[in-house]
Amino acid sequence: MKTYPMHIGGVPVETGRYLDIVDPALEEPFARVAAAGPEHVNAAVAAARAAFPGWAATPAAERAAMLHALAGALDANMSELMELVTRETGKPLQGLNNVGAGMELGGAIAWTHVTADLPLAPEVIQDNAQARVEVHRKPLGVVASITPWNWPLMIAIWHLIPALRAGNTVVIKPSEFTPVATSRFVELANAILPPGVLNMVAGGGEVGAALTAHPDVNKIVFTGSTRTGKRIMEGAAVSLKRLTLELGGNDAGIVLPGADVQALAPKLFGAGFHNNGQTCACLKRLYVHESQVEELAAELASLASRAKVGNGMEPGIELGPLQNRGQLDIVTALARDAREQGGRFLSGGAARDGKGYFFEPAIVTGLSNGTRLVDEEQFGPILPVIAYRDVEEAIRLANDNPNGLGGSVWSSDLALAAQVAGRLECGTVWINEHGAVQPDAPFGGVKQSGLGVGFGRQGLEEFTSIQTVKIMKG
């Protein structure tokens, strides 16, 4: 079993304490990662702080060139990193609709290239005979990145690359369930970046708390649960740290009356079940007009029953296991409660016997708002399909949730779909699509789904402060 180090100040660090990383398809460890104590958090932040002045002063073109080199390192080591992602997350190498470890690596590479070239030139507000007023974007300092277990490498890239592009230095703490691919990437990155620019510590919540509360951290970027995000926000208030929080989602989709069920069903199934539903912006609640709900639910159940579930290292597998035992228990409990509340399971709905955290993909009808499976984010392969009487009711039900990450509207009438989409309370809304993000378009949540945005110029600016410069000419 291979051991992976942490990385502080440009060098690998072993601690004598380890996290055993479990392959969720086999329920047995396949790797170990060195575990941090408070002293390692302090050392990592100190290394990032020491490296900050030099990195911030590095010309933007040179920083961009190094980030492009990072993308090249990802590409050159793609096969190895794909296997590590599959072993630690359970997601298949290819996956449903090719949304798997290959897509995670491909997305990481694309995001790195696009973000490296985003501009941060000064904005001229005024330039006349009296004065010239410019708005400059300056790096913040040390950024703490806390990443989740569902897309560990790609979300790390989403955090790290804009932070580095803007001139910040970084300490990243990946999830204690999935630190392996991140450790390998940071090792590759430290062969390109100056020492201390990118550091990694590993451990559980206590390590994350020590990092986010550290007085020398200037900004926190976190992707994860709303509950943890609130705790981070409380701690950040002590020193007014900047925050970007991408938190829980319970994304609703609305299928408008008269939809082409046969054409939409595969797209809806992919939107709800890729990565086993373990994506913040997966479709998690589907509202369908009462005239078509049974037909569409039956078609979705047919797709669910035919989906190939198994070890993601094997060819042709579309859905792997859930990432950890705790998440399997959550999904199982939600399924049990749905049955008790009168939900009808048209497919699946139970954990598989034997090794691995496998759950048979489920389509459930007969529920509505006010039941746990509809109100709570399931983060697993179980989708409630909910009937509505008219479009006003569909909009009300879709908005009746504390989360507001993404949403979607499905119809051949694009004008009507756009009208409905504009009334949904979410940070991103898709029409005839769900969950598709891109590196040049901002993405973030409203309500309790987070603060700030990622991606594009707007996401890059989250890692900067504004300095207004006024030059008097008279």
Residues with a catalytic annotation lie at 246, 280
**Cα angle at 459 between 455 and 465, to 5 degrees?**
160
- Cβ contacts of residue 1 below 8 Å, gap of 6+? 29, 30, 31, 32
Q: How far apart are CA 180 and CA 172, in angstroms?
A: 13
Per the CB < 8 A criterion, the answer to whether 249 and 377 are in contact is yes
Per the CB < 8 A criterion, the answer to whether 425 and 399 are in contact is yes
- Cβ contacts of residue 396 below 8 Å, gap of 6+? none
Q: Beta partners for 127? A: 132
- Classified as helix, coil or strand, 434 is coil
Q: How far apart are CA 373 and CA 384, in angstroms?
A: 7
In this structure, which amino acid lies at residue 99? V
Burial category of 400 from C-beta neighbours within 10 Å (exposed 0-12, middle 13-18, buried 19 and up): middle
Per the CB < 8 A criterion, the answer to whether 385 and 347 are in contact is no
Q: What is the CA radius of gyration of the chain?
A: 23
Per the CB < 8 A criterion, the answer to whether 163 and 170 are in contact is yes
Helices and strands: H and E segment counts in the chain: 15, 23
